[in-house]
Amino acid sequence: MAIHPIDYRYGSEEMRRIFEEESKLQKLLEVEAALARAHAKLGNIPEEAAKEISKKASTKYVKLERVKEIEAEINHDLMAVVLALAEVCGEAGKYVHLGATSNDIIDTATALQFKEALAIVERDLEELKNILLERAEEYIDIVCVGRTHGQHAVPTTYGLKFAIFAMEIKRHLERLREMKKRLLVGQMTGAVGTQASFGDKGIEIQELVMKDLGLGKVEVSNQLIQRDRYAECFALLALISATLDKMGREIRNLMRTEIAEVAEPFREDKQVGSSTMPHKRNPINSEKVCGLARIIKSNVFVALENVSLEHERDLTNSSPERCIIPESFVLLDEILKTMKKVMKGLKIFPENVEKNLMLTKGLNLAEAVMIELTKKGMSRQKAHELLRRLSIKAFEENKGLKEVLLESKEVRAYLSEEDIERVTNPKNYIGTAIEQVRRILEEEKKSSRS
């Protein structure tokens, strides 16, 4: 019976499959087979033995049920795999696991899992980035109110919002690709890292095994691959989830009834928003993203604790890694795919964007007026104080900024009515927002062609 939601609720079948017991067993067997082939190439074992081990290193022959039976008897998970493989290999079985320690096999197999899982994450990040760029282009000139401290600030654009998200995802892609060379490594170093069990051929054996498996190799190690590598991976997964959390939070806030500038995709034929309030259209997808991101971020603490193991190793990393590796990847897979769906189907309501832009009756253009007065010759500090006073006056008298500007002799000494009309139009105060987005779009299109 399934207990954890990653077994039945979260993550794609493709991602979950990587961390299933049988899939993990297959990867352990692949590493054992690669070790046997390396030994055969160096003349340490007969070539026919390596062929037999390679043939039988498959869940077609080594059954998960048999491995569990052996583990129940001997209380050692990896040795159970070794014995289960050896017993189906006949005479060749005596060469299985020659010279290796458990974590040579386990950590190298984990690197194979990381390789597959990161390929899915990388693909989803690339797709999400492209969706965000499409939305940036689609809404490049939709002017909206900017918000700082939850208050209306100067105008910005929806194109800039989406472009900012896209570039953050792009940086995660860069981090992921850079991290691979440190994370996707295996080891064949023996009990404490000296390779003594491999004689004078340890370095060659390690190189052959990793080349065979398509992995990099550790420079040095002790009984296991050092967990700073894993901690970096979990930190990256947490960073990605933090960005998705930020995106989800922005959508949730912009979906508030009082703001209502955007809406998540909603299936109007069947989707139910509330068990009691039939009218509800809740931001459930963005809320799920924000909620699951908390778990992914919290797992970084565990990964950091796993770095400081005692001497050449202890076992305190093993049990938490059984939990946090599949959990973090499956949950990230879930929220990445969810955010792709949200961003692809996100609706924007221009009429509400316009309404909110004008909600303060032009008060959020006070900076624009201050800059214009400075250009016309007024001291910047004097202009700031003047606009501060006029903004308070407009607020208290429930007037628009333009109205109090036209009434101010100090302002009219510098600005004409045409100047005031121009400078209080929010669409005239978005700076290079459109130009910035166009530049990003052009650079990304050029990059995708090269």
Share of the chain above pLDDT 70, in %: 97
User: What pLDDT does 269 receive?
Assistant: 55
Question: Predicted confidence band at 275 (pLDDT cuts at 50, 70, 90)?
Answer: very low
Q: Where are the beta strands (DSSP E) in 52-184?
A: 143-148, 151-157
Q: Which CATH number fits domain 363-423: 1.10.1740.10, 1.10.240.10, 1.10.40.30, 3.40.50.261?
A: 1.10.40.30
151-162 exposure pattern, b = at least 16 Cβ within 10 A, e = fewer: ebebbbbbbbbb
d(CA 342, CA 322): 31
Q: Is 192 exposed, middle or buried (0-12, 13-18, 19+ CB in 10 A)?
A: middle
How large is the greatest C-alpha to C-alpha distance in the chain, in angstroms?
102
- DSSP classification of residue 185: E
pTM of the model: 0.93
102-270+280-356: which CATH topology? Fumarase C; Chain A, domain 2 (1.20.200)
Neighbours of 290 (CB within 10 A): 20
What percentage of the chain's residues is helix, strand, coil (to nearest 5)? Answer: 65, 5, 30
d(CA 142, CA 348): 10
What is the helix (H) or strand (E) element at residue 204, kind and residue range? helix 202-213
User: CB under 8 Å to 170, separation ≥6 — which residues?
Assistant: 129, 444
Using DSSP's 3-state secondary structure scheme, residue 199 falls into: helix
8 Å CB contact between 421 and 145: no
Same fold, 102-270+280-356 and 363-423: no
First to last CA, the chain: 49
User: What pLDDT does 8 receive?
Assistant: 86
pLDDT tens-digit profile of 28-77? 999 999 999 999 999 999 999 999 999 999 999 999 999 999 999 999 99
Using DSSP's 3-state secondary structure scheme, residue 413 falls into: coil
Neighbours of 104 (CB within 10 A): 31
State the amino acid at position 26 in one-letter form.
Q
Q: Which tokens go with 339? A: 């955010």
State the amino acid at position 424 in one-letter form.
T
Phi and psi for 19 in degrees, rounded to 5?
A: -105, 10
Q: Which tokens go with 330? A: 């499956």
Active site amino acids: 149, 274
Neighbours of 341 (CB within 10 A): 14
Query: The domain 5-95: what is its CATH number?
Result: 1.10.275.10
State the amino acid at position 369 in one-letter form.
V
Q: Which of 109, 93, 99, 83 is nearest to 42 (CA)?
A: 99
User: CB under 8 Å to 136, separation ≥6 — which residues?
Assistant: 159, 160, 161, 162, 163, 166, 437, 440, 441
Neighbours of 81 (CB within 10 A): 29
User: What pLDDT does 1 receive?
Assistant: 79
Please give the mean pLDDT across all residues of the chain.
95
- List the chain domain ranges: 5-95, 102-270+280-356, 363-423
pLDDT at 411 over 80: yes
Question: Predicted confidence band at 5 (pLDDT cuts at 50, 70, 90)?
Answer: confident
Question: Predicted confidence band at 382 (pLDDT cuts at 50, 70, 90)?
Answer: very high
8 Å CB contact between 34 and 209: yes
8 Å CB contact between 44 and 98: yes
Question: Predicted confidence band at 220 (pLDDT cuts at 50, 70, 90)?
Answer: very high
d(CA 277, CA 390): 44
Alpha-helical regions (H) of 270-416: 284-305, 318-345, 350-357, 366-375, 380-396, 401-407, 409-412
